[in-house]
Each structure stands twice: as C-alpha cells, then as structure tokens.
Structure 1
Amino acid sequence: MIDWEDLRYFLAIARAGNLSAAARVIGTTQPTMGRRIEAFEHRLGTRLFLRTPDGFVPTASGRALLAHAARMEDEALAAERVASARDNGLSGTLRITAPEWLAARVLAPLLGPFCTLHPALTIALIGESRRFDLSRGEADIALRLARFEQQELAQRRVADFAFGLYAAPAYLERNGAPDFDAACAGHTLVTTTEDLADVADAIWLRQHAARAHIAFRSNSREAQAAAAIAGAGLACLARVHGDALAGLRFVPVPVEVPARPLWLGLHADARDTPRVRAAVDFLAGKLHRIAHAPDAVAG
C-alpha cells in the first residue's frame, strides 16, 4: 500500500518543480526530499519525474499518479477539517494570512487583545504577498483586498478601506503640490508593479496623474511607503496605513482615490471550528470599526 507521506512529497515536487521549493512547502531539507522521492520511485518500480535543467517534470507515470494523489489530498484535508470542527476548545494554532502592510499595521495590533482573551490559542500571522491556499490548509483565515474565487470557500466583506495620496514633506517642498489639471506633470509616482496594474488605486493614478513619471514600483505596500518617505514620489496608500506614518503627508485631491473592499475568507468546512469562528467574529467587528475610524487601530 502507498504511504500517504510519500504522496505528500510527490505532490509538493510536482507543484513546485524543484526540490528546494518543495522542501520549503513540506518543512524539510532538499536532500531529504531527494532521498524520499528516489525511494518512492524505487518501491513503485517506475520513474515519476524527469530530472531536467529546468527542474522536475512528471513522466507519464507521474502524470497518471498526480490526479489520484490530488484527490487523496483533498479527502485527507476534508477529514482534518471535520476533525478540527469537533474541537470544542479555543486552543491550538490559528493561521491567519494577509498582505504585509495589513498584517503589520492593522492585524497585529488588533490581535493582541484577542490573544489575551484566549490564552490557550497561538496566532500565526503570515504577512506576505503570496496567496495562501485555504483549500489545502495553508491557512485558516485569509484577508484580501479582492474577492476569493474558489467555490468551496466562505467569504464575507468585512470593511471598505479608504485610500489616499501621500508624499514626504521634503518632496512637496521641492516639487510643490501636484496640479491635477495638468495630470501631475513634473511629478514622480510610487506605484504597484505591472502585474498589479488593475488594482483601483493604480488605475486612479494612471487616470489622474498620466503625465507624472513612475519612479518606483513594488508589489509591497510597505516598500512603497518607505520609498515615498524617502522622497521618491507620490504614493497611493490605505488611509489606515498612510495616516499612521510620520514621514508622510496626506495630499488633497480633486477626485477621491477609490476605496477598496476587504474580504475575509475561510474554508466552508471550518466555519464551525470554535477558534476559527471566534477569530472571524472578532476580526469582522474590529475591522469594520477601524475602516470607518482609522485612529481606532490601537484601541
């Protein structure tokens, strides 16, 4: 009988395409990944991957096994969620993922009191741009500034974050206030990378500051804020983020930067898990209040 652990390693390599990335997913080392998959292939009597300069490519046998392994993973994860939902105690680890700036500037201050309320819980807050897969148990709760697309997820719109335009005082002294009638000619911008060009604030900048030069791009809002503080240019940031930074000044604009909705998502099977339900109720109430009164973050 095939060991489920072997299939976990096999799936990780098939999805990552190389041993080092797969090892990070599993939480082990690259040599261990290599030894594990070689032993698995030996027991099966077939090669599952071609080792190429570009990485590991599934063979015909590997491709045939992949669909079965993925279904087994789905069933295993579903069983874990059912078992977890029967846990009546507010204990264990709760994994929450959100964009970097939201995790650091908003969620971390909010979750401090939650930790005090539930001392048997451990909060694992992951702030990064990579979107964790809730369906595969990579996180219990995710917060994103866009709707979730997976049908098996439950989601709710918990807040609408206002956005604004910001710049360093030294930048404004050097360049003056932007002239929106002239499409901000003579100014420079700090904005998103091109793969995020369709987010609302990036679209707003293209529409209202079309003659400004883009000086800095990043997929990190914290990096954008740091560049703006250093004088790189005008940046659109969430008000709850930009207003809290002493090195930035809010820049009045004739047309408001669009607000962005904040969505909270979780797997539908996890809705009745006590620790998940408690965190969802707590965050939904707090985030709604903060979005309407940014100064309440620390309250």
Structure 2
Amino acid sequence: MNWDHARIFLAVARAGQMLAAARNLGLDHATVTRRLTALEEDLGAKVFARRPSGCTLTAVGELFLPIAERMESEMLRAQTLLKDADLRLEGTVRIGAPDAFGTYFLAPRLPYLAERHPGLVFQLVPLPRTFSLSKREADLAVILDRPQEGRLFSRKLTDYALGVYASRDYLARTGPVETTADLADRTLVTYVQDLAYSAGLDYMEALAEHAGRRFECASAVGQLEAVRAGGGVGILHEYAAAQQPELVRILPDIRFQRTYWLVVHADMRDLRRIAETERFIVDEVKAARASFNG
C-alpha cells in the first residue's frame, strides 16, 4: 500500500472536497485526483462518491478510513523516533580510511569526538581496494582518488607529502645515504605492486632501480614499522614519520605529493551524526594542515 495515496485519501476525507484537500496539501487538483484514482485501482473499489457538492465516503471508504489513520499514526511515530534519535546523536558512524591516515591521524583523534557525543559509536575501518557507501560498508570515506560517478558528495581534505626515510640505528649500522647510488646495498621497504588499489600509491619506482634488495608490505603502517625497526629505507607519509623520533629524512630531493578526499553518500550527508563527524574530520585536518605538507 502506497502511503502517499493513503495520505491524500485522509486529507480528502477530512476536508470533504478534493479542491480543499489539494490546497491543504500544497498540491494541484489533478495530482489529488490522480492519486485517489490510483488508490481505488489498488483496492479494486471506489472510496469516495464524488458529487458537485463534495466527496463522501463509500462503504469501502468507511472501512479503509481507520486503516489509513493507523498508517498515519505509525508514520508519525516513526518520524518522531527517527528525528529524536538524530537530535540525540545516537547510533553508529563507520569511517573508512587508508591505513596510514586512519592509524596515525584519525585513531588518536576520534576518541575525543566520542567523548563529546557519548550516544555515538565510531567505527574506523581500513579502506579496502573497493568499497560501497550505499551498502553501508562505510558512512564516510577518506580516499585517494576523487569519485567520478554515483550519488556521492566529495570534498578535498588536503594534499599530503611523502618522503624517503630510514631509522637512525639503520644509518648508524649501514652508513649514511646521501645519493641514490648509496642504495645499491640497502633494502628498499615498499608496497606490493599488484595490491596497490590506487594509482596514487605508485611512487616506489623512483628508488626501486637503485636498491639492492626489496621487502614488500601491502600496509603503509607495516612499511613504516619496518623502516622504524631498522629494516631498510622506505617512502613514508611525512605526517606519520614526523611522529617517530627514530626516523630520519634522507634524499630530500625525492618527494611526492598526493591528495586525500572525503566522500559521503548524498542520502546520508544531512543526518546530524554524519554531518558532525564530517565537520570534525575537516576541522582536525585543517588544524594540522602544516604537518601534511612537511
């Protein structure tokens, strides 16, 4: 049963005239007539006797009236519950993000948003190769490539930089790295090529031809930890590497710039819990803008 048809039925039953009901609903007379005809086709019977003086309920209309009123009550109850829940900021917000951004930027900050809104549960999930906002795999997502299709709202969060790093212990053990030629007997910590889900992750070839050995890790966090532990030389996110005192920037002329985009499904963006989370992420990134660009 189409609630919109039942809603118009109730308006006509209460007003006694289709023209008056149309004015009350903000619709034109033709739309009201068309919806009532569709309702009668669904029910297989007339619900109004239409006369020049107005509309009166038929026997079927009398039977349908309390059913339509119950439908109206349930719809109003649902709207009240959903509206109040949104005002109370209750529920779950799932945020998808690349592992470096999720681990080194969002994870230390989201607990403060959770303190501010105790009725919300925040879920931070690593961004896989593919994901769907419409299937609720994430409510918001931070991605590397701006989406070109779908009912998605996207905004640029920030550009960010990557540079070449090694640990102090590694350099003390193996000697300084002053040029790419010094990589000949070093281990290059890099990503797994066929698991790179975005062209934005393709930057290791600048060093690969110079390195003697390679250790490949699909996770940016894993790469940073391997470099931090003295496992070799790697290209790391500058905002993440800056948090590790063991790491030293080397080969400063080699630098890459990429972009983070924040994406929300258009149908979800007006929900207050989503809007509050979006605003929080945008504000936190803005406050830390300098760290993303070294």
On whether the aligned pair clears a TM of 0.5, the verdict is yes
Partner of residue 247, structure 1: 246
- Paired position in structure 1 for 2:282: 284
Say which one has the larger Rg. Answer: 2
The answer to whether the 8 A contact 2:145-2:200 is kept is no
Task: Give the corresponding residue for 1:95.
Answer: 94
Match of 2:142 in 1: 143
**Within 5 Å, which residues of 2 pair with 1:224-235?**
224-235=223-234
| Matched letter for residue 162 of structure 2 | F
Query: Aligned equivalents of 1:92 and 1:292: distance in 2?
Result: 33
1:193 is matched with 192
Give the alignment of 1:71-90 within 5 angstroms.
87-90=86-89
Contact 1:162/1:291, CA 8 A, preserved across alignment: no
- What displacement does 1:138 show? 1.4
| Whole-angstrom distance in 2 between the partners of 1:252 and 1:228 | 15
| Residues 97 and 141 in structure 1, CA contact (< 8 A), matched pair in contact too | yes
8 Å contact kept, 1:184–1:209: no
- Which 5+ residue runs of structure 2 have no aligned equivalent? 1-80
Q: Which amino acid aligns with 1:190?
A: V
Matches for 1:62-77 after TM superposition, within 5 Å: none
Q: What corresponds to 2:113 in structure 1?
A: 114
* Change in CA separation of 1:213 and 1:201 when aligned onto 2, cut-off 3 Å: farther
1:271 to 262, 266, 269: 269
Q: Does 1:134 find its partner at 2:133? A: yes
Deviation at 1:233, TM superposition (A): 1.2
Distance 1:231 1:212, change over 3 A: same
Partners in 1 of 2:83 and 2:171 — Cα distance?
Answer: 54
Q: Secondary structure at the match of 1:163?
A: strand
Contact in 1 for aligned 2:161/2:238 (Cα 8 Å): yes
How many residues matched?
A: 211
**In the aligned structure 1, how far is the partner of 2:261 from the partner of 2:197?**
20
What is the distance in 2 between the residues matched to 1:119 and 1:197?
35
C-alpha separation in 1, matches of 2:200 and 2:229: 24
Q: Residue 23 of structure 2 aligns with which residue?
A: none
- Matched-pair identity in %: 31
The structural deviation recorded for 1:230 is 2.7
Task: Tell me how far 1:280 sits from its aligned partner.
Answer: 0.6
> Alpha carbons of 1:102 and 1:176: their partners in 2 closer, same or farther (altered >3 Å)?
same
**What is the alpha-carbon distance in structure 2 between the residues aligned to residue 276 and residue 181 of structure 1?**
46
Aligned-partner SS, 1:288: helix
Q: How does 1:36-55 map to 2 (within 5 A)?
A: none
Amino acid at match of 2:239: V
Distance 1:218-1:181 versus aligned 2 partners, 3 A rule: closer
Q: CA deviation at 1:197?
A: 8.9
Give me the whole-angstrom Cα distance separating, in 2, the residues matched to 1:104 and 1:181.
30
The amino acid that maps onto 1:232 is G
Q: CA deviation at 1:249?
A: 2.0
Measured in 1, the distance between the counterparts of 2:189 and 2:202 equals: 10
Deviation at 1:88, TM superposition (A): 3.7
> Hey, what does 2:260 align to over in structure 1?
262
**Any unmatched runs of 5+ in structure 1?**
1-82
Alpha-carbon distance between aligned partners in 2 of 1:201 and 1:130, rounded to the nearest angstrom: 12
Distance apart, 1:133 and its partner CA: 1.3
Distance of aligned partners of 1:85 and 1:149 in 2 relative to their CA distance in 1, 3 Å threshold: farther
Q: TM-score if structure 2 supplies the norm length?
A: 0.64
Aligned to 1:218: 217
Residues of 1 paired with 2:159 and 2:83: CA distance? Answer: 30
